[in-house]
Chain A
Amino acid sequence: MGKQSPSRTIVKSDFFRVAEQIWELPRDFREDMRAPARLYADEALLEAALTDNSVEQLVNTSTLPGIVKYAIAMPDIHQGYGFPIGGVVATRLPEGIISPGGVGYDINCGVRLLASEATVEEISAFLGELASALYRNCPSGVGVHGEIKLQDAELDKVLVEGARWARHRGLARNEDLEHTEEFGAMPGADPEHVSHKARERGRSQVGTLGAGNHFIEVDAVTAVYDEAVAERLGLLPGQAVVQIHCGSRGFGHQVCEEYVARFQKTVHDYGIELPDRELVCAPFESEEGQQYFHAMACAANFAFANRQVLAHHIRRSFEQVLAGKVRAFDLHQVYDIAHNMAKIEEHEVGGTRIQLCVHRKGATRAFGPGSPGLPDDLRDVGQPVLIPGSMGTASYVLIGTRGSMEQTFGSTCHGAGRVWSRARARKAVRGEELRQELKDRGIVVRAGSMPGLAEEAPQAYKDVSRVVDVVERAGIGKKVARLEPIAVVKG
């Protein structure tokens, strides 16, 4: 496929330090770059990023046609396939491209945060029972199917209406939808462009957690950094909250793989040369680009519906275990965010507002106060941003800032970011020992696979607090609260 990237090791001295937390490779660093590449990091995180191919992958994304300003990577950057995880690329419309590989196979993988009326102290005696109920009620594991099996007409509704579909079935509250990115339904979804195979994979997977790094976690709010904003989000110190991390399951995987395979030819038809076949793309306005966008939006809506049904199962689990034992335990939705998505957004570039296709691959939308698309009750505050840490470590709730709008197309980091391969984690950590270690720290674990648990060991990840500190110091996110796990449920 066209031009091969000249491979040479990228070193720290290749970067120009734009600001304390921003490192830039200029556009002439490699001849096929169409824009500079910017990495948000402190010195240690930059050095960590240089230990694998993630920075080369960042440079590769700067070759995409129509790219605006720079290819961006967040401090949780790590090696992925095509895009690095933690990558943000915006292309100018109408001539810019859309890339299925820039979204990834788990379309609209994301995080939802529910906050309970109960404190950790109130539920602590029932925690084991609660974890077991969550494990039982939220189907998890490889290729798992759920209780809901959707016929074609009903599946079409899921693909168009997303989480809103769940309201008609009594599985969603209005406030849930208000507090979901895109209000739970990504516009532009057209099931016409979804294959029979994707439908077959998806029809019984709504309301399932899956496996890998996906999880449900009960956390304690252990620190509040911004009391006023935390209060607006309904977060208090000592409160019990629940995070859901999962995406569009086999449905999204099938949509992505079909379009990546199809675009292997499309990219030639449009004369686009790329350094990596996984970056294949099509002009956004082309027939192929539009078809992918319509299908991707369907997968995004599948994921919103999936997390919505899981939220219902979580509420049910709380009720089963805590009713009659704890005074008040209801869960309200703080927010639901996507961290693998391509979206049409308007941003100011060079003093003019222009329409862009913003790819976020392992990066979170982080719109600042006053931005369009925020719920009415948070318009003056900004968008909540949910940053899950590695298993057994802290997670953070941030709020979007004006800085993220100015610097990163309204984007920030998405998690801790891996530093160890899964093979290394399996060699260094035994799942059973890790479970015991977590238990000794008061964290209850319900997991289907011990090797799977070992692969997600905290040692395999960067320090999420360090990642969050970088985005806060750079002004592309502001800390609101810190969460620490008390129960983890995994496939």
Chain B
Amino acid sequence: MSGELHFREVEHTADRAFTVRGRDLAELFALAAQALRAIQGQPTDTLHAVRREVEISGVDRETLLVNWLNEILYLQDVHQESYSGFEVMAISDTLLRASLRGAPNASSRRTIKAVTFHGLKIERLSDGWEATIVVDV
């Protein structure tokens, strides 16, 4: 796992894959969003001039994670923003409430088309949670 981001890239021929760890589900989801930001080469931003609230649902924990990350891709595409602050305020296996903070005028160096279900795993570890995610680039 790399430094404060707690994510590690996994070898994938055409796309990008990574594992991410968090102490609880809320942290796991927030750090997965940070990994998505890092893979796109978006800068971290401390001014956080933009704030958006989201409520996400899914039929299970895995679908919730995919829907959460794809919602971020949707918002940054439509509003031309990039996000680097992710606060998960409430989470269950099927519902998530979170806020995104970031900057207008997004500057991504790499594109992610979508977050996929391929090889998707969310596992409970003795000291937290780990997810493996493949994204289409």
Contact = CB atoms under 8 A, between A and B. Distances in A.
Interface of A: 52, 54, 78-82, 85, 101, 104-106, 142-143, 145, 197, 200-201, 210-212, 250, 253-254, 256-257, 260-261, 264-265, 276-278, 280, 418-424, 449, 451-452, 491
Interface in B45-72: 58-60, 62-63, 66-67, 70
B110 A211 contact: yes
Given A105-B113, A212-B137, A421-B14, 4 more contacts: A81-B118, A145-B80, A201-B78, A491-B111
Contacts of B109: 142, 449, 451-452
B120 A277 contact: yes
A253 B115 CA distance: 10
Given A142-B110, A261-B58, A261-B67, A418 B116 contact: no
Nearest to B63: A264
Contacts of B134: 81
Interface string B90-113: 000000000000000010111101
B80 A452 contact: no
B41 interface: yes
A422 B16 contact: yes
A106 B113 contact: yes
A409 to B, nearest CB: 23
Classify chain B's interface size.
35 or more
A418 B11 CA distance: 13
B61 to A, nearest CB: 11
A142 B16 contact: no
A419 B12 CA distance: 10
B77 interface: yes
A422 B59 CA distance: 32
B111 A210 contact: yes
A278 B118 contact: yes
B74 A197 contact: yes
Given A212-B111, A212-B113, A278-B118, A418 B80 contact: no
B62 A277 contact: yes
Contacts of A250: 74, 77-78
A143 B15 contact: no
B13 A79 contact: yes
Nearest to B11: A421
Contact of A79 (B12, B74, B108, B117): B12
B66 A261 contact: yes
